[in-house]
Amino acid sequence: MNKQAFTLIELLVVIAIIGILAGFIIVSMGGAQGAASDARRKADINQLSKAIMIYKTNHPDTPLLIDADGCNIGSDCSSDEIFGSASVLRDPNGSYYSYESADGVDFTITSRLSNANNYSFDSSTGLYSEDTPISAVNGVCGASAGIEHEIIPTTGLCSVGNPSEVSGDGVPYTWNCSGVGGGITISCYATKTGWVDTGLGFYVMKYEAKILGYEDGYQVYSESFIPISRASGTPWTRISQTQSITECQSLGSGYHLMTNAEWTALARHIANQSSNWSTGIVGNGVLSRGYSASTTYASDGFQDTAPAPTTGTENDIYNIGVNMVGPSGAFDLKRIHNLANGGVIWDLSGNTWEWNSDICVQGSGAGNWYNSAWIEWSDSNLSDYELGSAGPNPLYTSTQNVGRYYGCAANGNGFLRGGSWIDGLTSGLLASYLRHMPSESYNNVSFRCAK
């Protein structure tokens, strides 16, 4: 009898066929197992819902367990009494069935099927249902967040989620964008026109304070005047520190004249942004000192005699000639500074000195302020307190356009910061001038409110 062995190809074909058949069997068994598990889940949901119905019948005056967020039956529900002996039921995979009731009257029992759908009983309808769970998506603020608004924003509030009602007086405006499918709700913020979020925990006027209803800020003080932050017009001058404090507080709860701590934190923050340096590198080149051209205190080639005539547009960014502004010019005389959050602030350096709410006490050591004419922040007499409380950090001098220090000429003098249109290199983000009493006012001194 002639015997012939299988060839290698024939063996491989047989093995492949066996593998395919085995795959079919495994898939079929897996499907059957999933169907069996789902049948048990549905039976358990039915038994749990009936157990609760029995409890309601036996306790008609007792509300059901209230848990609007849902709890795991037999695990973290505050009580399992309403489930009776059915509280021991578990999903075939060992997980728990969930219970939810917002009012103690109607309830929902839910399980997760093998196809990842939810299977539920809803007592308010008496129906069992299967649905695809919604994936959790966090709320996302819309285009109206982080910008200025003439009026309360009503559109562009959320790009994902539903917006809440907008609240606040514009410093700031606030609202929430709710998450979808259990996603996180996000808080959103914006400001009214003329205010900027510093990103440091407080808001400030984007521009030096102006007088509502007056384009010319050089006015004899009146208690009827109202401070406003707007681009047009010249700064409110001829106002004392005491009056500036009162005017900022008149805007409402939380409003106040900028403090020395706020000014210093903001100025240091600006000095730490590369876009505010002439070379684009922090500490390399110079910062801008604003509208401050001088032939007396600098070598700018011209000297201003009045505040900037216009503010707020691309044509107003540089001090380009005597009492003139333009869209381009010397970096030293640039009037705007950038914040890390994308905000922009005008004339924090130059244009007018600005009152802070603090007063000084002469002396040395903590809490005291050195008395001197103009000196650099590198002067050793400032290292014990003044530099840390009001100066640049890291240390810069007027060589980098941070301004200079004029000491406490008398106890109780007010703080002036930033420099003015005539001060050249004495102007700068950290310039400090402690020469004048809180009751004094000048044509080159203004203020800025914060909240």
Q: What is the pLDDT of residues 340-359, one digit of tens each?
A: 999 999 999 999 999 999 99
153 and 184 fall within a common domain: yes
On whether residue 379 sits in a domain, the answer given is yes
CA separation for the pair 416, 447 (Å, rounded): 9
On whether residue 114 sits in a domain, the answer given is yes
As a whole number, the mean pLDDT across the chain is 94
149 and 242 fall within a common domain: no
160, containing H or E segment: strand 158-160
- Residue 105: which domain range? 40-131
Exposure letters 376-389 (e unless 16+ CB within 10 A, then b): bbbbeebeebbbee
Exposure letters 127-139 (e unless 16+ CB within 10 A, then b): eeeeeeeeeeebb
Instruction: Return the DSSP state at 183.
Output: P
Q: Which residues contact 246 (CB under 8 A, 6 or more apart)?
A: none
CA separation for the pair 197, 340 (Å, rounded): 10
68, containing H or E segment: strand 67-72
On whether residue 249 sits in a domain, the answer given is yes
Q: Is 419 helix (H, G, I), strand (E, B) or coil?
A: coil
CA separation for the pair 186, 178 (Å, rounded): 6
On whether residue 47 sits in a domain, the answer given is yes
The predicted-structure confidence for 24-71, as pLDDT tens digits, reads as follows 655 555 557 888 899 999 999 999 999 999 999 999 999 999 999 899
CA separation for the pair 119, 136 (Å, rounded): 18
Kindly state the tokens that stand for 70.
Answer: 């849902």
The predicted-structure confidence for 384-429, as pLDDT tens digits, reads as follows 999 999 999 999 999 999 999 999 999 999 999 999 999 999 999 9
Phi, psi values for residue 188, rounded to 5°: -125, 155
Q: Which pTM does this prediction carry?
A: 0.76
319 and 277 fall within a common domain: yes
On whether residue 332 sits in a domain, the answer given is yes
On whether residue 384 sits in a domain, the answer given is yes
Residue 391 contacts residue 430 (beta carbons within 8 Å): yes
